[in-house]
Amino acid sequence: MTAVVCLGGANVDRKLRVAAPVRPGSSNPATACETFGGVARNVAENLARCGVPVQLLAAVGQDAAGRALLDDAAQAGIDVQAVHAIGGALTGSYTAVLDSDGDLYVALAHMDLCEQLTPDWLAQHADVCRGAALVVADLNLPATTLAALVTAAAEEGAPPLVLVAVSEAKMARLPPRLHGVRLLVLNRGELAAWAGTEALAPGVARLQAAGVRDVVVTLGAAGLCHTTAAAGALVFLAAPVVPAEAVVDVTGAGDALAAGLCHGLWSGAVADHGWSPACARALARAAWTVQCAETVAPDAWPFSSISVFRFPLSD
């Protein structure tokens, strides 16, 4: 089977969960755990745990954290041979402070190594990307590298390109012309940051006018909306209900959802059945992930059949 190639962030995740409501400006008792993360790395692990062949293109430091990250990824089934290990640099980190309910309070991202993933670096892996079944990139990549990826994706015979947003601040890295992007995955805040409007339909329409074929906007615990073949139409899908007491950690849920969408493209399910079934499975994976302490749930897709709650969206 042809591999999915994931490009972007690979780092150490440090998660601290406070025992009571956060008191800013004061010491807050908390529990802590450390695991591996990064949007591209998380998407890659989710796919690998579903039996998808996947290769990671990223950067780590030549330090203990970088070596441990690569060993862990390889054990999960990810091909890490082409990951760039940079001497004298610290592997990236993402530190999340979670409130007593497990929801994100604040996060600090140290992702400087991604700036080393330049267009010249991308050119060294052009054959890998051209031979992929699907190329998935997160917006931790520099703007120039993202522009080069989009340009390559617009060429005849190029594999589909999926872009996954990482933060409102990094939406500015999207190139103005997005022809060649098969799918863009982002949340409502990221869409508003790019489009300059809180309204979903006009924001998505602007992305499609820039050249994106399909868009999925995640809406947290409510679910998501996705584009359809009908111009300007959006469909809302409700997320599975997860009781508050079952939520352990929301970190990685969005990456699990993005991986589910990528799995739908890679497997041909989207081509056969449209976006709604793939989105429903992706929502199920995200719901499963928030009930795990791990950033990536350490098992395959949890549900064999998913009920799809599908509604036309009114903004």
The band of 301, judged by pLDDT with boundaries at 50, 70 and 90, is low
Distance between CA atoms of residues 233 and 254, nearest Å: 23
- pLDDT tier for residue 1 given thresholds of 50, 70 and 90: low
| Sequence ranges of the domains in the chain | 4-8+39-57+77-84+119-312
Predicted local distance difference test score (pLDDT) of residue 300: 57
Tell me the pLDDT of the chain averaged across its residues: 90
DSSP letter at 92 equals P
Q: Comparing 275 with 297, which gets the higher pLDDT? A: 275
pLDDT at 177 exceeding the cut of 70 = yes
Predicted pLDDT of residue 125: 97
- pLDDT at residue 314, as a whole number: 41
Q: Return the pLDDT at 42.
A: 96
Report in angstroms the alpha-carbon separations of 252 from 14, 61, 183, 185, 289.
12, 22, 19, 14, 7
Q: At the fourth CATH level, which superfamily is domain 4-8+39-57+77-84+119-312?
A: Ribokinase (3.40.1190.20)
Task: Report the distance separating Cα 260 and Cα 279, nearest Å.
Answer: 7
Q: pLDDT tens digits for 98-145? A: 888 878 898 888 888 999 999 999 999 999 999 999 999 999 999 999
Ranking 3-12, 136-145, 150-159, 238-247 by mean pLDDT, the lowest is 238-247
pLDDT band (50, 70, 90) for residue 224 = very high
Candidate from 35-49, 106-120, 237-251, 267-281 with smallest mean pLDDT: 237-251
pLDDT at 306: 40
Strands of the 54-57 sheet, one edge to the other:
78-79, 54-57, 4-7, 134-138, 161-164, 181-187, 214-218, 223-227, 234-238, 310-312
Give yes or no for a contact between 123 and 42, defined as CB atoms under 8 angstroms apart: no
pLDDT of residue 291: 87
CB 184 within 8 A of CB 212: yes
pLDDT at 307: 41
pLDDT of 309: 40
Q: Does the pLDDT value for residue 308 go beyond 80? A: no
pTM: 0.89
Tell me what pLDDT residue 2 has.
Answer: 85
Share of the chain above pLDDT 70, in %: 94
